[in-house]
Structure 1
Amino acid sequence: MTYRFIALFWIAVFYGIYFTKMFIQRRKGIVTNQIAKSKVHDKSYHIEMVMKYATIAVPVAEVISIVLGTSGLTIIWRVIGMHLAFLGNVVFLLAVVTMKDSWRAGVAREEKRGLIKNGIYKYSRNPAFLGFDLVYIGIMLMFYNPVLMVITVWAMVMLHLQILQEEKYLEGEFGDEYTEYKAQVSRYAGCGKVTFDKAVMYVYFVLGIWSVMYFFTCLAYGGGLKLSWVWLWILIAAFSFIRVFMQKRKIEGSPVIRLPKVLVWIYRAVFVAVLTFFIITETKIIGAMTAEPKENLDYIIVLGAGLRGTEPSNPFRVRIEKAAQYLKENEGTIVVASGGQGKHESISEAECARRKLTEVYGISEDRIILEEKSTDTEENLKYSLEIIGDPSKSVGIVTNGFHELRALSIANEVGYENVSSVPAVTLMPVGIHYTVREFFGMVEFYLKH
């Protein structure tokens, strides 16, 4: 229901902007809707007519898809869709505001207007069309189905053909002024011909925008500001926008600070080294996250992850589910439920796991051993090994996928000789945050060991 409300809200905002602008201009005596209004039924007229039908079909298909409420994509794609729809609304609003009374839907051949090159039009020749595309793609990702995809693609193709017709008209209307403008600003987004410096600037810009939107996504899905390290995304956004500003000044030939070349190369070397280390570490984290559990392990250890009273937190819940699944598929395996009782917890995490495994999943009490002293991952594994008694036994660690690499690394340090990964689900969309945050957890582990 939440996704339905959000999708309908973004559609309402988008068309609210569209029709509000049209109403304001109508009160001034301006006819905004010029789609297929030409008296000459040429190629441009027919393209506009088909585009008109396509852009009517899209919101109809979107609303039907939203009412049906199903989606063929995972939650992370829905979140990306929300981001794109929001961004599309912002871009479209900036476009119609910047155009002021010059904004028209369709080519107004009979009217004389100036060429708008300021504001968002310094970075996109067609920001209104870009706004349409972003909203279309966003809603499609939120409520994907083949019919909606086909109608969306059809509308986007027609919008592109309309852009080509408008460009021909503008070239004839403004001549060299428009030709020069085309050379400086890209059709959809960007500043003219792509160079290495521009590409770097675009990457930082996209990263900055996405980090801001993902920060608010983490607040919504991860429990607000209580989510540890959530401020990391604001830091990434701030760094990205600073780099955008610096790259822009560099491209314009007026860098903010002229540093000695040796410092520039030191910065580049450190940046590349840190980025390489990050990529290697994240590759290992994802590798442990996606590992296939070994069959018939002697033991599995379920690491605790916090309670709300007597109920498991979402990360702990999926660990218990994974343990139950493994135990049902491997009937000779014993489980060690590990985790003590925290300050605001009514029972120990181990006891919570025992209750869920027996009462919800029907696992026999005889297969469950409780470890109720530990307060962190290292203690989980240390005290569990004392219970198991034999470091050569085959042991699987059940934790959320993003946490597996660090848990396995700690297990090897504690003394396990035959330990492997039994990864539980990494909950999305906050799972991206956890996976990135885990890099710093691994850095801490490497520094301590």
Structure 2
Amino acid sequence: MIEFTIISAIKCNSLMALKINGMVKMTYRIIALFFMLVFYGIYFTKMMLQKKKGIVTDQIAKGKSRDKGYYIELTMKIATYLAPLAEVISIVLGTVGFPLMFRIIGMYFAFVGDIVFFTSVYTMRDSWRAGVAEDDKEKRNLVTIGIYNYSRNPAFLGFDLVYIGILLMFFNPVLLVISVFAMVMLHLQILREEKFLEKTYGSEYTQYKGRTSRYAGVGRPTPSKILMYIYFVLTIWSVLYYFTCLAYGGGLTLSWVWLWLIIAAFSALRVFMLKRRIDGREKKKLPAAVKWGYRIAFTVFLTYFAITEVKIIRAMSARPKEDLDYIIVLGAGLKGTEPSNQYKARIRKAAEYLDENENTKIIASGGQGSDEEISEAECAKRKLIDQYGIDENRIILEEKSTDTEENLRYSLEIIGDPTISTGIVTNGFHELRAMSIAKREGYKNVSSVPAKTLFPCGIHYVVREFFGMTEFYLKEICYSQR
């Protein structure tokens, strides 16, 4: 009867997981199709609006002469028809060749691609043409304002970004080949258009070409420009990742989620300052001492940040020792009686370890929060028994703790002997701090049993953990001075 109950519970959870997974896949399909609809909606809407004004927008492969340029445009046209067709088929089939984080980054690319394309078409106004307009007798001014200050070919850049975005979201070899083929043909078209523009506008275009990059950038790279580009990308990333964390991490309840807005604001400020310096528009220069003080302090901070993050990431991949006497699963919040996603990963890892090491006992550690219906320890016990079939006699509850320090302190009191082999089950990003605290609390034979760090919020957790480790180091300094 007990075995039947366990099997039924496992089947029920599996069916629920499949249902949720199906809903998630459908969501990504809808998002990808939306990005495509917006992109091509902009394209064809602009063509229709210009057609009403008597402007022939589509000039692709419309020349009378069958020269090399004609066949480049014709091939490009075929490629740009094949690409969206392959994208739609890939989306409908739901091909997934990369982990979740690649899908998220793919959405970023497609989103930015839509914005870049819309901005380029809007800025170009009625001067926009698709293809080299050799037979267009209407005199048009060279557009170098707005987004064209930073890219000579923002519309093509928009195409490439959307291609890359959909490819990352629904990767498969066929889509890869067709997307690369389309981007190569677009590049060849750019080279052809550059020759036409040089011939048409002469020195005006040559000067423009010297100060604005083909795809993105302002002229030849310099240290200040490279730094500005890095900060610009960081600004875009931080804003988009902030909303990603809100969507995947439980909204504003996700601790420290505001950190990404601070990073975005700081990066945007640095872009503004560097752009003014590059343009020679700095009204008031900072004293050299202030500049060098900032540079030294920032370099020290980045070095410390990098070293700490390397330690955190290394701890994530630690291999747990076999046949430990005890493992301690640290609590991580409940929603009523159900564990948070991070806590689910910890419980799952604990169950896997207990299944592989039959003599190991587990201490489920975690008290009951004000918004929780049961203790975190009790929640872990229920899941281990009902969902994973773990023997109740192997589970010990510690229900007083409210943080990691208390988790480990009270669990050691239960174990009694600090030399007994013990493993700490927590999410990978948290292992370094948990192990550091355990050693401070007196554990003599402790090792990591890292659970999965869930993405896309995993990046947030890893960055946030830097501040957790900084707090730990500061406490260590305070303790040593007592």
Question: Partners in 1 of 2:72 and 2:213 — Cα distance?
Answer: 22
Separation of aligned partners in 1, 2:386 and 2:257: 35
CA deviation after TM superposition for structure 1 residue 390, in Å: 0.7
Give the secondary-structure state (helix, strand or coil) at the position aligned to 1:426: coil
* Cα distance, 1:236 vs structure 2: 0.4
**One-letter code aligned to 1:259:** L
Q: Which residue of 2 aligns with 1:16?
A: 41
**The one of 152, 155, 158 aligned to 1:125:** 152
Counterpart Cα distance in 2 of 1:32 and 1:259: 50
Helix, strand or coil at the partner of 1:370 = strand
Distance (whole Å) between structure 1 residues aligned to residue 284 and residue 275 of structure 2: 13
**Which is worse superposed, 252-261 or 121-130?**
252-261
Residue 88 (structure 1) aligned to one of 109, 113, 138: 113
Give the Å deviation of 1:51: 0.5
Aligned counterpart in structure 2 of residue 52 of structure 1, from 74, 77, 84? 77
Letter matched to residue 212 of structure 2:
V
Task: Give the counterpart letter for 2:214 in structure 1.
Answer: R
SS of alignment partner, residue 39 of structure 1? coil
How many pairs does the alignment contain? Answer: 449
User: Which of 312, 315, 318 is the aligned partner of 2:342?
Assistant: 315
Q: Which residue among 455, 458, 461 is the counterpart of 1:431?
A: 458
Deviations 1:336-357 (A, max 9, x none): 1101111121111111111111
Matched residue SS, 1:262: helix
Q: For residues 95 and 184 of structure 2, what CA distance do their matches in structure 1 show?
A: 25
Residue identity opposite 2:79 in structure 1? A
SS of residue matched to 1:106? coil
The whole-number CA distance in structure 2 between the counterparts of 1:361 and 1:257 is: 66
1:176: Cα distance to partner? 1.0
Aligned equivalent of 1:7: 32
Matched, 1:208 2:238: no
1:177 is aligned to 204
Partner Cα separation in structure 1 for residue 447 and residue 152 of structure 2: 54
Provide, for residues 309-343 of structure 1, a one-character-per-residue CA deviation record: whole Å limited to 9, x for no partner: 11111100010000011111111211111011111
The CA deviation at 1:37 is: 0.3
Amino acid at match of 2:384: L
Letter of the structure 1 residue corresponding to residue 439 of structure 2: N
Paired residues for 1:278-317 under 5 Å: 278-317=305-344
Aligned with 1:337: secondary structure?
strand
Residue pair 1:246, 1:256 contacting (<8 A) in 2 also = no
Residue 361 of structure 2 corresponds to: 334
Query: Percent identical across equivalent pairs?
Result: 69
SS of structure 1 residue aligned to 2:191:
helix
Return closer, same or farther for 1:257/1:443 CA change in 2, 3 Å cut-off.
farther
Residue 424 of structure 2: SS of its match in structure 1? strand
- Residue 236 of structure 1 corresponds to 263
C-alpha displacement of 1:256: 4.7
Cα distance in 2 between the residues matched to 1:302 and 1:128: 52
Q: 1:368 aligned to 2:395?
A: yes
Q: Which amino acid aligns with 2:311?
A: K
The 5 Å alignment of 1:131-280 reads 131-280=158-307
The aligned counterpart of 2:6 is none
Shift of 1:40: 1.0
Paired position in structure 2 for 1:35: 60
Q: Residues of 2 paired with 1:220 and 1:190: CA distance?
A: 32
Q: What residue in structure 2 maps to residue 422 of structure 1?
A: 449
Give me the whole-angstrom Cα distance separating, in 1, the residues matched to 2:331 and 2:130.
58
Q: Secondary structure at the match of 1:134?
A: helix
**SS across alignment from 1:302:** strand
Q: What is the Cα deviation at residue 254 of structure 1?
A: 2.8
Letter in 1 for 2:49: I
Q: What is aligned with 1:61?
A: 86
- Quote the Cα distance in structure 2 between the aligned partners of 1:350 and 1:256: 60
**For residue 379 of structure 2, what is the aligned residue in structure 1?**
352
Between 133-142 and 393-402, the greater mean CA deviation after superposition? 393-402
Deviation of 1:360 after TM superposition, in Å, equals 1.0
Structure 2 stretches of 5 or more lacking a match?
1-25, 477-482
Residue 181 of structure 1 aligns to which amino acid in structure 2? Y
Q: Provide the C-alpha distance between the structure 2 equivalents of 1:4 and 1:419, rounded to a whole number of angstroms.
A: 45
Q: 1:400 aligns with which of 414, 427, 430?
A: 427
For the 8 Å contact 1:307–1:345, the answer to whether it is kept is: yes
Q: Quick one: which amino acid aligns to residue 287 of structure 1?
A: R
Residue 226 of structure 1 and its aligned partner are, at CA, apart by 1.3
SS in 1 for 2:256: coil
Q: Distance in 1 between matches of 2:322 and 2:208?
A: 64
Query: For 2:336 and 2:271, how far apart are their aligned partners in 1?
Result: 46
Which secondary structure state, in structure 2, belongs to the residue aligned with residue 29 of structure 1?
coil
Please tell me whether the aligned partners of residues 303 and 339 of structure 1 are also in contact (alpha carbons under 8 angstroms).
yes
> Which residue of 133, 151, 155 maps to 1:108?
133
Task: Give the Cα separation in 2 of the matches to 1:220 and 1:348.
Answer: 27
Q: Give 2:354's aligned amino acid.
A: L
Change (3 A) 1:256 1:416: farther
> 1:403 is matched by which residue type in structure 2?
H
The separation in 2 between residues aligned to 1:344 and 1:209, in whole angstroms, is: 35
Note if contact 1:285-1:402 (Cα within 8 Å) is conserved in structure 2: yes
Cα offset for 1:89? 0.3
Alpha-carbon contact 1:51-1:162 (below 8 Å) kept: yes
CA–CA separation in structure 2 for the residues paired with 1:269 and 1:319? 40
Aligned partners of 2:422 and 2:293: how far apart in 1?
45
